[in-house]
A and B are shown apart, each in its own frame.
Chain A
Amino acid sequence: DTGVSQNPRHKITKRGQNVTFRCDPISEHNRLYWYRQTLGQGPEFLTYFQNEAQLEKSRLLSDRFSAERPKGSFSTLEIQRTEQGDSAMYLCASSRVTGVGEQYFGPGTRLTVT
């Protein structure tokens, strides 16, 4: 069990650029979740996958946000045409489907849009 990993850990980009973040879940976990967290707030749910199927995406913040998990393993979160308001910590978590499914979080990717 190597834990959930996220890359990059930090990303600075200029407004209008596209960015992509990667999440590698714990290997035996079927579910993968994406959250956004801004200063002083709790994690805000964005979307989640069970294997390669995206089961909930209505919470994605706008059509500039998209996520994929093509082979049911790692996932990517892309933000197109970034805005300064997108500056935040982006967290990934994974869990089993069976049992109570507690989530295990990665360290996050901190995005700064200048």
Chain B
Amino acid sequence: DAKTTQPPSMDCAEGRAANLPCNHSTISGNEYVYWYRQIHSQGPQYIIHGLKNNETNEMASLIITEDRKSSTLILPHATLRDTAVYYCIGGINQFYFGTGTSLTVIP
């Protein structure tokens, strides 16, 4: 699995887009990028994944750079319930979560 690097914390105003970056420069060609989030005292929740193309689902959008060395998770209209720790994982087995980015949505 690839090593990932994320900023430890970010703030976002409620209603605005939250853009969470992740570097995964060691990712190999067949390894997906996965995003999970963990709300306090709950188990992590799968958000989205991608390989090469940008992806969108009902929760978020994932933008992957052409060289696949980094990606950005976008929450288009952040709400207070999006306050959580967000983990970016690169790999086939999805084993290594790192310390993630603690996102605080501010009213």
Report the interface size for chain B: residues with CB under 8 A from the other chain. 19
Residues from chain A with a CB closer than 8 A to the CB of B15 are none
B86 shortest CB reach to chain A, Å: 10
Partner of A105, one of B45, B95, B99, B100: B45
Q: Please, which residues of chain A bring their CB within 8 A of the CB of B98?
A: 42
Q: Is the interface of A mostly helix, strand, loop or mixed?
A: loop
Given contact pairs A102-B34, A103-B94, A43 touches B49 in the complex (Cβ within 8 A) = no
Please name all residues of chain B whose beta carbon is closer than 8 Å to the beta carbon of A43 when the two chains form the complex: 44, 97
Q: Please, which residue of chain B has its CB at the minimum distance from the CB of A91?
A: B43
Q: Are A93 and B99 in contact (CB under 8 A)?
A: no
Chain A residues lying within 8 Å of B100, measured Cβ to Cβ, are: 42
A42/B97 in contact, CB under 8 A: yes
